[in-house]
Chain A
């Protein structure tokens, strides 16, 4: 295996240590956006170097630099949406936590609920065909006076079920 960053991103944690003292000295005197403000946006982004790990939790050097960009842009007064759009323009749609809602991507959003509704429909149709006319009132329990204590009914039902087992 090649010692590539993408395959073993954790190696890069090492670089964090080495480079920590250096970056963002210039922005230090500005009203620097807090780590929390940066993380709030980073949380919603995914860096291709760190697949499936949100940017705020990824420790690779690339991700540290990305968070630096967020910080810089925030300091310049960019809004959250502008920053997200900047990342999309730079690195493609995959930086977003979800596919953008357009074109083929609608399929991602439509299929699960559509499949579920189809399931509901099939089950409903099934219920209708399986439903037997021998209605609810055929059960012996129903003939029991309504004033009977619920507990007694529970026992009889329990017993009945146990017999059926």
Chain B
């Protein structure tokens, strides 16, 4: 019953979405606002309708209705309720419904805004959003139906919505259960965050398309979607970081990022999105590079679709891939249409988007922003090429190749370094007229101040490799410059308005939220860079099989194997949990419990490391194996990951920075207000 309601609701949503597209176009053509309003109502209707579908699916999951093929695949009786709910995005069909639901939520939210001055954009925003939604719904209804049931005929098991001839319902006693790797709090939030980030980018894209179609060459689409873009960027970034954290905590290989094609395809829209966030400022401040911003937002959205295509069509094989499915060709048609239509529109309006670009200096803020864009796109090209090259190689020569971490690290590390340098220099450059002389003058102090980092790294015994020393200096440089910006701004306010320092700081940030929120984000990036540098360059590891009471050494650390417990849990796992004690310089600093969970329902293992995390370093222990008979010996792999905690701290700072920059204004009285506050 719930399945029929859910499926019916999906189907009705599709019809409503298609109607909305038609009504919007008809209304726009005939300048008939009634039709446009009707389309708008259609758009608003999609959200409650899809909520019914999603609620039905959650209901089916939570109530263990294993006749539903999807429920039987991703859920099981032993799973706790929150995981049954999370199983909504545990596999292809459910995650597509979830995706559509988020899309409807965003599209509805944007429809609710006031449309006084940009009414001409409305029909096209509806067409783009509902068109995309309709596509995802078609995939759900015709190819990946999460509500389809299991039926037993004389010969075989059939998955269908209604009973085939001579078939009896097949109700498995229990489901296969969610992939154990997904049964982790990080995985419960990582996919929704990632999807939120992906889906939210449709809003700026829809507005960009609308302004291309209507031929509005002004920057209203940028102004309207500025906050949306920030939120989208926050979700996308958090999705990436949560994915890293999940990999670090669950995958048990001592790392957080493997340059896997699917990771990269989530990273690519982040690159162009970040470039976009910077370059729109040039358009807002100096009315330049309109064409470029259009290109960037289209790239970002298309990379989202492209990444989804790669993950879900089976073109690439990866740990993240969904099982091969029939949606590949349909998705291909969609991606081809999106790319062709966006590109065609940009080229069609190319001349209208021309702006009188003028740069007074190579060292002005806008010039440095362009350099920033160049570096981001450089990283994008290397990433994209690395993902696509194995495909080309196999097609051209039949030879499968791997493009792995060394390739990406070599290709992107210098560019990341360049971006760090820019984070240090660009905030000091002024819009328009900055010259080498003025820039130089403001650079001198922080530059020399930051040089003190180098003797400190030497004192800590870090001489090698040279690029690590350079990177430490860069980190110090950016931190110095950024803190100086806060300091000088507050001090000058404090003097001018006779405020105390903290009041001045508060006012400064409050009044220029985007600017100072941006600086906080720079700081967060630098903190993350510190963590990445620590683990990438200074990670050490060792592995060995030891008996109880014996120890493994790694640097100043030593780890003693004390005992192993093997027991069942009531949520359907068998745990092998080792207890080890960790000593640093001969002094015990704590106990860790690395373990291996065996999931009875899916017959899979998950390795959960024991981690002792401090600001200076992580001590990370994986239980690789143990001997079940004697329980005497066990194989451990231990990693020493310096500074990695700063990555997670950076993520918190990042979120804070976005909140500072994007939190809604208190009094949005006049439409002017949003323009002034940036």
A–B direct touch, CB within 8 Å, in complex? yes
List the interface of chain A (C-beta within 8 A of B): 1, 7-8, 10-11, 13-14, 16-17, 20-21, 34-36, 39, 46, 48, 51-54, 56-57, 59, 92-100, 103-105, 107-108, 111-113, 115-116, 119-120, 123, 126-127, 129-132, 134-139, 141-142, 150-152, 154-155, 157-158, 160-162, 164-165
A85 to chain B, nearest CB (A): 16
CA distance A158 to B411 in the complex (A): 37
Contact with A along B421-464 (1 / 0, CB 8 A): 00000000011110111100110010000000000000000000
Chain A contacts for B435, CB-based, 8 A: 136-137, 139, 142
Among B11-19, B253-261, B332-340, the one that faces the other chain is: B253-261
Contact A97:B404 (CB < 8 A) given known A13-B605, A17-B625: yes
Q: Is the CB of A116 within 8 A of B401?
A: no
In the complex, A126→B367 CA distance in Å?
10
B416 to chain A, nearest CB (A): 13
Return the 3 tightest CB-CB contacts between A and B, nearest first.
A57-B253, A136-B435, A97-B404
| In the complex, B406 has a CB within 8 A of chain A | yes
Q: Are B261 and A52 in contact (CB under 8 A)?
A: yes
Complex: chain B residue closest to A117, CB-CB: B378
B345-379 to A contact mask, C-beta < 8 Å, 1/0: 00000000000011111100001001100100110
Closest to B411 in A: A112
CB of B393 within 8 A of CB of A105, answer yes
Question: Is B184 part of the binding interface, using a Cβ–Cβ cutoff of 8 Å?
Answer: no
Residues of chain A with a CB closer than 8 A to B507's CB: none
B605 near A52 with CB under 8 A, answer no
Which residues in chain B, 480-505, are within 8 Å of chain A measured between CB atoms? 488-489, 491-492, 496
Q: Do residues A158 and B492 form an inter-chain contact, with CB atoms below 8 A?
A: yes
* Chain A residues within 8 Å of B252, by CB: 57
Q: Which residue of A lies closest to B432 (CB)?
A: A139
Pair B374/A123 contact, Cβ less than 8 Å: yes
Interface: B467 (CB within 8 A): no
**Closest B residue by C-beta to A119:** B374
Question: In the complex, are the beta carbons of B441 and A150 less than 8 A apart?
Answer: yes
A131–B319 touching, CB < 8 Å: no
A139 to B439, CA, bound (A): 13
CA gap between A119 and B442 in the complex, in Å: 29
- 0/1 interface trace, chain B 377-419, chain A, CB 8 Å (1 if under): 1100110011001101100110111111111000100010000
* Contacts A93-B400, A164-B431; A136 near B605 (Cβ below 8 A): no
- Would you give the shortest CB distance from A93 to chain B, in whole angstroms? 5
- Cβ contact within 8 Å between A112 and B603: no
Of the stretches B159-167, B296-304, B627-635, the one at the interface is B627-635
Partner of A127, one of B261, B362, B377, B678: B362
In the complex, the answer to whether A165 meets B389 with C-beta atoms within 8 Å is: no
Residues of A within 8 A of B367 (CB): 127
Determine if A20 and B492 form an interchain contact, defined as CB atoms under 8 angstroms apart: no
Decide: B489 and A59 in contact? CB cutoff 8 A: no
What are 5 residue pairs bridging A and B, where the CB atoms are less than 8 Å apart in the complex? A35-B637, A36-B544, A39-B541, A119-B377, A123-B370
A98 touches B359 (CB 8 A): no
Interface of B is mostly: mixed
B260 lies within 8 A of A52 (CB) = yes
Residue B100, interface by CB 8 Å: no
Q: Are B625 and A142 in contact (CB under 8 A)?
A: no
Contacts of A111 in B (CB 8 A): 381, 385
Select one of B261, B371, B598 contacting A123, CB under 8 A. B371
Contacts of B362 in A (CB 8 A): 127
B257-283 vs A, CB cutoff 8 Å, 1 = contact: the mask equals 010110000000000000000000000
With A14-B605, A21-B629, A96-B402 known as contacts, the answer to whether A112 contacts B385 (CB < 8 A) is yes
Bound-complex Cα distance A39 to B543 (A)? 8
Total count of chain B residues near the partner, CB < 8 A: 86
Residue from A16, A21, A92, A132 in contact with B400 in the complex, judged by beta carbons closer than 8 Å: A92
Give the Cβ gap from B20 to chain A, nearest Cβ, in Å.
Answer: 37
Contacts A1-B323, A17-B628 known; A108 to B389 CB distance under 8 Å?
A: yes
- Partner among B404, B436, B543 whose Cβ is within 8 Å of the Cβ of A52: B404
- A160-B543 Cα distance, complex, nearest whole Å: 60
Binary CB contact string for chain B from 638 to 678 against chain A (1 if under 8 A, 0 otherwise): 00000000000000000000000000000000000000101
Counting CB contacts under 8 A, is B318 at the interface? yes
Q: Cβ of B544: which chain A residues have Cβ within 8 Å of it?
A: 34-36
Q: Given A108-B385, A127-B359, are A141 and B438 neighbors across the interface (CB < 8 Å)?
A: yes
Whether B33 sits at the interface, judged by CB under 8 Å, is no
Contact partners of A8 in chain B: CB under 8 A:
604
Report chain A residues within 8 Å CB of B432. 139
What A residues does B399 contact at CB under 8 A?
A: 92-94
Interchain CB contact (< 8 A) of B319 among A52, A157, A158: A52
Asked if residues A95 and B359 are in contact (CB atoms below 8 Å), the reply is no
> Is B548 an interface residue, CB under 8 A from the partner?
no
Which residues of chain A are near B606, meaning CB under 8 Å? Answer: 10
B512 interfacial contact with A, CB 8 Å: yes
Cβ 8 A contact of B318, one of A10, A52, A56, A98 = A52
Taking CB atoms, residues of chain B closer than 8 Å to A95 are 402
* Interface assignment of B545: CB less than 8 Å from any CB of chain A: yes
Confirm or deny: B117 has a beta carbon within 8 angstroms of a beta carbon on chain A. Answer: no
Q: Are A10 and B181 in touch, CB under 8 angstroms?
A: yes
Whether A108 and B381, one on each chain, are in contact in the complex, defined by CB atoms closer than 8 angstroms, is: no
Alpha-carbon distance A111/B323, docked complex (angstroms): 31
Asked if residues A97 and B402 are in contact (CB atoms below 8 Å), the reply is yes
